[in-house]
Amino acid sequence: MTSSPPPPSASLRMPELPLTCLRTAEYTSTTDAFEGKNVVVDFWTTKCVRCPAALDDLDELSRRPEYAEVQFVSICLDSCDGARNVIERDDVPRWGNVRHYHMEAEYKEEAKETLGFAQVPFYAVMNDRGDVVMRGSKKRVNFDDVPGMIRPPTATSPQRFEERNFSTPVKKVNDIRDIQPSPVCVEQFDRVFTLDDDF
């Protein structure tokens, strides 16, 4: 039976834990790596059969323009060498838009306890203040509501026919040739249409 993460808390923060960058082999911490950034973290292991597909999805999201202000991160929780082999399996490193880190087993347990997870892939979404605002499996995280997403301006909804204002008075016309084009119409369209005689 799998445990579900505890409900989100406004005060929940990512614990400060040591990490190793898989590209540079430099040591850092979760605080230093994520400070001041909107971050989506994917915790994974080399033995997880669903994790490569989850990283494919994460890399795809990172390429979309609306996520330009969001940093995507993977943290491997088991073998550092195994993670490098998975990521660098081909000549071109996989998941090139995702920053890859490794976390030692002793710190993994603290991350699991603090964030409340027992299986991977597991996501933690943080705002630029370091607050964990969403966490859980792919089903529990709304990737359309990630902090820092660039949202397109919303179009105003079209006015319903019943709501339109038809208060302009209508003049009675006896002959079509008596109609003069409206100056507004001329300004808007830069041309006036006339009806052909055979219309």
pLDDT at position 90 is: 72
Q: Would strands 122-126 and 132-136 be described as parallel, antiparallel, or unpaired?
A: antiparallel
CA distance 130 to 126: 6
Q: Would strands 70-76 and 38-44 be described as parallel, antiparallel, or unpaired?
A: parallel
- Across the chain, mean pLDDT equals 80
| Per-residue pLDDT at 169 exceeds 60 | no
With a pLDDT cut of 70, the percent of the chain lying above it is 70
Question: For 53-73, what is the mean pLDDT?
Answer: 95
pLDDT at position 141 is: 94
Q: Which residue has the higher pLDDT, 175 or 62?
A: 62
| Per-residue pLDDT at 155 exceeds 50 | yes
Question: For 179-195, what is the mean pLDDT?
Answer: 48
Other beta carbons within 10 Å of 57: 14
CA distance 28 to 40: 17
The reported pTM is: 0.71
Concatenate the DSSP letters of all residues of 90-154 into one string.
SSSPSSTTSEEEE--HHHHHHHHHHHT-SSSSEEEEE-TTSBEEEEESTTT--GGG-TT--PPPP
Question: For 42-50, what is the mean pLDDT?
Answer: 95
| Per-residue pLDDT at 6 exceeds 60 | no
